[in-house]
Structure 1
Amino acid sequence: MTTASFPPSMACTDPVDLNDIFRLNIIPNGTQKALIQRDVATTSGKISELRSELEELEDRLRRHQLALSSPVRQIPTEILGEIFVHTLPTYPILDHLGRHRLVNLELVCKAWCDAARSNYRLWSGLYVDDSVGDGGLPLKPIMDWFSRSGNVEKSLVFEAIHGDCRTAALQCKNTGRDLAKLLAGGLNFTHFEYHSSGPRCFENFVDAMHALEPESSGSQAAWDSVKTMLLHFEYRWDVGNTFQVDSMFHRLPSSLTSLKLYLPFDNPDSTFLDIPARVSKRLTSFNLTCQWDEAFILDLLVGGWDNLERLTLYIYDCLPYELDTCKPVVLPKVRSLRLRAFNPSSSDFLQMLTTPRLVKLNIGFEGYHMQFTKDGFAQNILSFLDRSNCKNTLRSLKIRYVDIQVDQLIDLLTNLPLLTHLTLAHVTSSEDTAEFFEALRVSRMLKGVKPFLPRLETLELIHFPPDEFPGLFDYIKSRRPYDMKNGQAVYSLPQDSLRRLMVRYATAEDDDNLEKNQCGPALEGSRMVEELRRWCGIFVDIAPFKKKFRE
């Protein structure tokens, strides 16, 4: 054992006296007291120094241990890059906030910087606008940003925020020129969006794009790399009403396969829109949002859409039109048809469409939910399906924002035995909706009656009244009845096709007709739900409806 040593200053000049003091209960004299105080101060200082050294050693030990065992340090670069993807707002299109956060992630450490740089998708989508003024766009920073995206597909979203290009003509032309240079710079964008008040700004850009062809042999090739495009014209439709060979739609990229078009809600005096057949024949997906009359939409869809597979129409406040004067529309390859924000009185619109290969039908009446649909609503849909001869191909039906009689809904679904996916969102009735599920349950018990939706695999009910869940529960159980024996279910029928149930039940927060906490909060862990999961073999996803819920 080593003997503790003390600094010279601590050596006792009169050890006998100090030993007597430590051993005996005597009062130290003045000299002894001063000596003891000096030794106490010296010892305290040494303890403080040793404590600081100990803290430094413990901190060093902790850093070394973390370096060896930290789970964050052990995350592979590729996974860390994927984590960054999910932390960035507005991804995959990064606006100013998203870019700022990505740069901040790079600055944390070299490993994080390497992870961000190695994930090319982080750098592949960008939102830019013309807020810099008449000087055009900052091309070099934009090009430098995209240079980090490697060979992955790139997306560019541009917004002309200067307003009316008629009052900001110089800025509009400068921006259009720089935007054309950006697209001709060899980056080969596959997705491009253009947002402006009207189509004049976009026409200026297209003019600039084609003016580059003599200067840059690659400009047209770069333009033709765009596969999906979104054009959003918010306020005005200031184009002529005559056929224009060089119109902006005639000069869209030859590679385009998907087009989303948002037209101004203000219905112009002339609803002329020229999408040439050479463009429409290449499209496999077309999305149109407007509030123009039905005749315009039908005229637009007549002929030239031979390869279209997905058609989406958001026709807000679209006014009914005398459809007898319109030509029927045949869409031979359409597999998905979505009609949203539809006017209930315009359900005859379906009678002008023929879709022989339809697989998915999605029809919604957003904004008209309080109106009763016509008595012939179900018959119109069935007539459309019969005329298109697609009952045997239809697998998915989604109905939204409909107030419909129970017998109509039953009549509709009874005639669609091959459905595998059914969604009823905000579907109400002047009658008790529970009667609907009771009728379905009874129909399965009747001999000689064909089973209702025998191939149904997924049932989705959005904004579902919580007090009607028992009726839903009884119907699902009736699809495969069972008895309990010795704690086990004994089934009388083979495995049912229904595998997934998704319910978003209404709450008092978004439905004034419901009392607070009415039935809903107890549903998630209820006996009924557990029974469906355990004995019926169904994946049950049940939660309260949220207004932010994406349908």
Structure 2
Amino acid sequence: MSQPIHSSITRPSSIVLSRLLSNNEAPDAHEAASINQGISNLQGEISRLRSQLDHLEGLLQKHRGVVSVVRTMPFEVWGRIFTFVLPSCSTQYEKKELLYLALVCRTWCQAVRFTHRLWSQYSVLSYFPSYEATKSWLSRSGDLPKTLKVSGFRCSHSRGRMPPDSDFWCRMIHPELVKMLSEGPVLDHLSLECQVPLCFIKICEQLHPSKWNPIRSLAIRIYEGWSGVIEGEVPSTSFDIPPTVTSLEINLGFISDFGHPGRPLCISPSAYARLKSFSFHATTSAWSNGSALLQALQYCTSLENLTIDKPSRNIWKYDGQGWPVSLPSLRTLRLEQACESEILNYLIMPALTKLVVRRRQYREGEGFRWDFPDPELRYPNLHILQLYAPLSMNPLKLATTLKCLPHLTELTLSGVVSDSHAWDHGDYRGEPESGHRREGKREPPMRDVFQILHSWDKECGASRNLPVLQVLEILDLPSDYRFPYVFDYVAARSSPGVPGQASDSLKKLTVTFLPIRLPSYLSCNFRDFKNVHEAFERRGLSVSITPSIFEPPKRAPLYPFRV
């Protein structure tokens, strides 16, 4: 039996309350005062007990925390967690955060000390870099690859940055940095951010790159061009690259042109010949010499990975000589922040297996020129194609490109698929040539790439398009997209009955829709998705369509489809 609660309720109020509860009479003034006093006492008692309850619950949490399994976690697990909290740990702020973690307890201190990954990167941001501090930090990373990043922006090599006392300074020529490169820990990756090209040239004069400690990867970023230099130099000056570098990244910032015919991008052909990975970044509005990049690629005979950032139709000026460029060993090509894919017209990549084209964010009035010429000749062995774009592509051109890629196993179309082109170009047909007629009758227009592919597959019979496709991702579909286009195409691939046709290779389908601001049941037809999962999974296909529940809610949701 529960124990009675000892309260501070007065006996008179209890007697009055008991009498009044047995009838329906209104209390007089004396009785009302007694009842109000009882109410006040009850409220005080409740507050006192609630305070005790909060205190006891706090003690309970502390007791449970002491015996929690979290306290028994080994420091190796905590170290792994810290690598997610501080993935780079290179800036001054991140370094302080790491040291604060080490002060929490002995286990966390061990986790910080013995997790080598937390100490594998170091950034030099001060005007007075310290060799001992850099060496001490990186030495804690054990045998892991080490990264050193040196930021040399706002140095005296640029006009208007000479200090008042006329004391010339630049991090790139600081003796401590030179000592790091010659006597410090062996680096895997070195990143040098220079104000102008002269900064890198000066450090090479202080210590020739052939005398640097061996490095595998080098990144050079130059913020300003030749016009911003206060010391005399000529654009023909070349960069010397350490002979051990096999991965090179060049970021030219706002430079409009760089290099000369004998040394494209101011780097010797022998340095390009050693590269396995090459990344080129240039500001779209500034860079104006696409031929220099193609000249550099001519020497990249061993290149396996290539990234070109911000290729734009406004910057490529080709002289039409010596193209196309053959890259016999290239396996991965990425066009990032692209405004066009015209550079594919000048490259032959017989070993290419992965192509990623990512269009930069759409700007009003800005178009994108999608062009994949002769894919069966330029990259016949392509296995993975990923297209990311805020604007949809011409469905007939896209379907024609896919038709020429028989070895494709993974296809990602993000923001690419839409039937909006049908209203602008009503003459798309299920044939490579638009405006096709049969027996004098004009066929209905094809509005979607999957509608076109489905039509072609029916005509091909046993030899369907994309015969070995295993993974299909259709991302960022508009909310009014007609999903039956996709369903009919995928269902037809896995339907038996065509003599001589191999079983469908497609194993995984992922579809996502963009959210919309206002709900519209006219555009979101939930009947299009009824039993989709069951129908595909019976054929052994893994399906993910966002949202996963397609029953229309009682009230219109803000986002009928979520990414």
TM-score of the alignment, normalized to the shorter chain, above 0.5: yes
Tell whether 2:296 aligns with 1:319.
Answer: no
- Corresponding position of 1:478: 492
- Corresponding position of 2:421: 430
Task: Report % sequence identity.
Answer: 27
- Corresponding position of 1:340: 336
- Corresponding position of 1:530: 533
Q: Does the CA-based 8 Å contact 2:131-2:184 persist in structure 1?
A: no
Tell whether 2:72 aligns with 1:80.
Answer: no
Question: Using the alignment, how far apart are the partners of 2:78 and 2:496 within structure 1?
Answer: 49
Match of 1:171, SS state, is coil
- Corresponding position of 2:388: 400
- Corresponding position of 1:363: 357
Name which of structure 1's ranges 119-128 and 170-179 shifts more when overlaid on structure 2.
Answer: 170-179
Question: Using the alignment, how far apart are the partners of 1:530 and 1:204 within structure 2?
Answer: 63
Higher helix share: 1
- Corresponding position of 1:123: 119
Query: Cα offset for 1:462?
Result: 3.0
Q: Which whole-Å deviations, capped at 9, do the CAs of 1:273-311 have from their partners, x for residues lacking one?
A: 221122111110101012332222222222x21210111
Aligned partner of 1:313: which letter? I
- Corresponding position of 1:409: 398
Q: Where in structure 2 are the equivalents of 1:258-273 lying within 5 Å?
A: 258-268=247-257, 273=265
Q: Which whole-Å deviations, capped at 9, do the CAs of 1:309-345 have from their partners, x for residues lacking one?
A: 111112444434344234432212111122334444x
Q: Which whole-Å deviations, capped at 9, do the CAs of 1:171-228 have from their partners, x for residues lacking one?
A: 20576322222233331110111123222222223333339x9xxxxxx3xx342111
- Corresponding position of 1:139: 131
- Corresponding position of 1:444: 457
Q: Where in structure 2 are the equivalents of 1:101-500 lying within 5 Å?
A: 101-130=97-126, 133=127, 136-166=128-158, 167-168=161-162, 170-172=168-170, 176-210=174-208, 220=211, 223-237=212-226, 243-244=236-237, 247=238, 249-250=239-240, 252-268=241-257, 273-290=265-282, 291-302=287-298, 304-317=299-312, 318-344=314-340, 347=342, 349-366=343-360, 381-383=372-374, 385-386=376-377, 388=378, 390-391=379-380, 393-401=381-389, 403-427=392-416, 428=418, 430-431=421-422, 435-446=448-459, 448=461, 450-468=463-481, 469-481=483-495, 496-500=504-508
With over 3 angstroms needed to count, the CA separation of the structure-2 counterparts of 1:115 and 1:367, relative to structure 1, is closer
Query: Cα offset for 1:368?
Result: 6.7
With over 3 angstroms needed to count, the CA separation of the structure-2 counterparts of 1:534 and 1:367, relative to structure 1, is closer
Match of 2:415, SS state, is strand
Q: Which whole-Å deviations, capped at 9, do the CAs of 1:2-41 have from their partners, x for residues lacking one?
A: xxxxxxxxxxxxxxxxxxxxxxxxxxxxxxxxxxxxxxxx
Match of 1:361, SS state, is strand
Q: Does the CA-based 8 Å contact 1:173-1:205 persist in structure 2?
A: no
Tell whether 2:499 aligns with 1:501.
Answer: no
Name which of structure 1's ranges 468-477 and 96-105 shifts more when overlaid on structure 2.
Answer: 468-477
Q: Where in structure 2 are the equivalents of 1:47-66 lying within 5 Å?
A: none
RMSD: 3.7
With over 3 angstroms needed to count, the CA separation of the structure-2 counterparts of 1:66 and 1:264, relative to structure 1, is closer
Query: Cα offset for 1:109?
Result: 0.5
Query: Cα offset for 1:93?
Result: 4.4
Query: Cα offset for 1:482?
Result: 8.1
Query: Cα offset for 1:536?
Result: 4.0
Q: Which whole-Å deviations, capped at 9, do the CAs of 1:449-482 have from their partners, x for residues lacking one?
A: 6212121112222322233233223322222138
With over 3 angstroms needed to count, the CA separation of the structure-2 counterparts of 1:227 and 1:183, relative to structure 1, is same
Query: Cα offset for 1:528?
Result: 5.0
Aligned partner of 1:334: which letter? L
Query: Cα offset for 1:108?
Result: 0.9
Q: Does the CA-based 8 Å contact 1:117-1:148 persist in structure 2?
A: yes
Match of 2:243, SS state, is coil
Question: Using the alignment, how far apart are the partners of 1:77 and 1:520 within structure 2?
Answer: 54
Match of 2:344, SS state, is helix
Q: Which whole-Å deviations, capped at 9, do the CAs of 1:260-282 have from their partners, x for residues lacking one?
A: 11112341487762211221111
The count of corresponding residues between Structure 1 and Structure 2 is 446
Match of 1:230, SS state, is strand
Aligned partner of 1:472: which letter? V
Question: Using the alignment, how far apart are the partners of 1:243 and 1:117 within structure 2?
Answer: 48
Please, which runs of 5 or more residues in structure 2 have no aligned partner? 1-51, 424-445, 548-562
Match of 2:245, SS state, is coil
With over 3 angstroms needed to count, the CA separation of the structure-2 counterparts of 1:59 and 1:403, relative to structure 1, is closer
Q: Does the CA-based 8 Å contact 1:157-1:193 persist in structure 2?
A: yes
Q: Does the CA-based 8 Å contact 1:481-1:493 persist in structure 2?
A: no
Query: Cα offset for 1:431?
Result: 1.8
With over 3 angstroms needed to count, the CA separation of the structure-2 counterparts of 1:354 and 1:113, relative to structure 1, is same
Aligned partner of 2:216: which letter? K
Using the size of structure 2 for normalisation, the TM-score is: 0.69
Q: Does the CA-based 8 Å contact 1:227-1:255 persist in structure 2?
A: yes
Question: Using the alignment, how far apart are the partners of 1:112 and 1:372 within structure 2?
Answer: 53
- Corresponding position of 1:7: none
Aligned partner of 1:312: which letter? T
Aligned partner of 2:450: which letter? F
Q: Which whole-Å deviations, capped at 9, do the CAs of 1:500-534 have from their partners, x for residues lacking one?
A: 2333422236xxxxx447799998x9645533663
- Corresponding position of 1:35: none
Q: Which whole-Å deviations, capped at 9, do the CAs of 1:109-162 have from their partners, x for residues lacking one?
A: 1011111111111111122213xx4xx213333322222212211111121233
With over 3 angstroms needed to count, the CA separation of the structure-2 counterparts of 1:528 and 1:473, relative to structure 1, is farther
Match of 1:356, SS state, is coil
Query: Cα offset for 1:403?
Result: 4.6
Question: Using the alignment, how far apart are the partners of 1:410 and 1:343 within structure 2?
Answer: 21
Q: Does the CA-based 8 Å contact 2:258-2:266 persist in structure 1?
A: no
With over 3 angstroms needed to count, the CA separation of the structure-2 counterparts of 1:170 and 1:528, relative to structure 1, is farther
With over 3 angstroms needed to count, the CA separation of the structure-2 counterparts of 1:183 and 1:115, relative to structure 1, is same
Aligned partner of 1:359: which letter? T
Which structure is larger by alpha-carbon Rg, 1 or 2?
A: 1
Question: Using the alignment, how far apart are the partners of 2:84 and 2:198 within structure 1?
Answer: 37
Name which of structure 1's ranges 115-124 and 72-81 shifts more when overlaid on structure 2.
Answer: 72-81
Using the size of structure 1 for normalisation, the TM-score is: 0.71
